Amino acid sequence: VRDFGGGFIMAGGLRAFGDLGYKGTAVERVLPVTFQEQRPKKKRRTPIALFLLIDRSNSMGYNSKVRGLHDGQKMQYAQRAAIEVVNQLQDTDLAGGIAFDSEPFILAPLAPLAENRAELISKISRLQYGGGTDFYGALETAADQLARSRGTTRHIILITDGDSNRSPADHFPLVATIAQRQISITTIRIGDDTVNLQLLSHMSEKTGGRFYHVEDVEALPQLLVRDTKQAIREKEDEDDKPKEIKPRVGERGQILQGLDDFPALEEYMLTKPKNGADVQLYTDIHAEHDPILATWQYGLGKVVAVTFDPSGSGSSDWIRWDGFGKFWSQAVRWAIRDETPWDYRLSVQQRGERTVLQAESYDSDEEGILQVRLPRGTQSDELTLL
């Protein structure tokens, strides 16, 4: 390539770029990119943002008439449950707390738990019951703070045992706003009566949360832990979904001439461009310009690096793309020697599971020699083109 002006194209997935087998070899020296260790899958999910709203009204001091609980134990179980929820979260999660009777009292504003875990737990454990019940202000405050948060999963857990000073209809516009902000509400109604069950159920249903009617407050800690784990699992499932990798055009060259609207990829191999490389296609899915198609001049020759598997593993949309053949034809034409005694046209087509390369010669008495390097590194026999 360097000394005689030949062309070199390397394309592939894990076997070509991903296992570092070519690291430090002549192959890497020729390429316009360097091999990199592939990014490991995230061990930690992206943060969630959660607000705990805890009823501290006077009725939380009454016994629950279940299993002979004493006065104040409803409050104690609510506190224990809230603390268990906080302990389920990781330091990068955002959490805040509000206690309410007829007014809201902020225990801790929304912040990463690395900063406020101890404060939040301490204030929850010191709650005392007394006063009426109105959770409207607590909901409004929590929703406002969550709407400004960086958490992609935003969740409210509301624990209450009593009637509200407001009518159910007063809450509907606020609940609609919370739903529009993509904030879910889990509501937990403590006690064996049925006051406000429909309102609390409505709040959860409209926002995509869950509703629980808990008569036995001893089950409350376990219930809240289960609800929090469910929210975490949903976030982990969301993080595990493959993201669409849409190639973006960088330095448009001859290979991309007449081509637009490049199909999405399911995966690509991580490389870094060398100084002097032309990154014609890249992705910024990881906030960096990772090459998808990179080219450069290497001595007298030209080199192309395509960092995805063109056989279909992670690139199924490319195989079905109308521009698939043109893309590879132009890549080959760009890479071949500028001065050649053989005038020909080269095309690549995908026919089912087969890739067909066709070379046509015009007005030439010269014989052409074709040799193909297969994905696993083996070479085909030399074929004479007549």
Q: What is the pLDDT of residue 184?
A: 94
Closest CA to 159 of 71, 85, 87: 85
Q: Which residues contact 181 (CB under 8 A, 6 or more apart)?
A: 143, 146, 147, 154
Closest CA to 293 of 38, 39, 31: 31
Domains in the chain: ranges and CATH:
7-38+269-343 (3.40.50.880), 48-240 (3.40.50.410)
Q: What is the pLDDT of residue 269?
A: 86
Q: What is the pLDDT of residues 137-158, one digit of tens each?
A: 999 999 999 999 866 789 999 9
The CA–CA distances, whole Å, from 20 to 24, 112, 159, 269, 275 equal: 9, 38, 54, 11, 20
> Cα–Cα distance between 99 and 26 in angstroms, integer?
66
Q: What is the pLDDT of residues 38-76, one digit of tens each?
A: 765 555 677 889 999 999 998 887 765 444 445 567 888
pLDDT exceeds 90 at position 192 = no
Who wins on pLDDT, 2 or 206?
206
> Cα–Cα distance between 67 and 186 in angstroms, integer?
26
Who wins on pLDDT, 263 or 65?
263
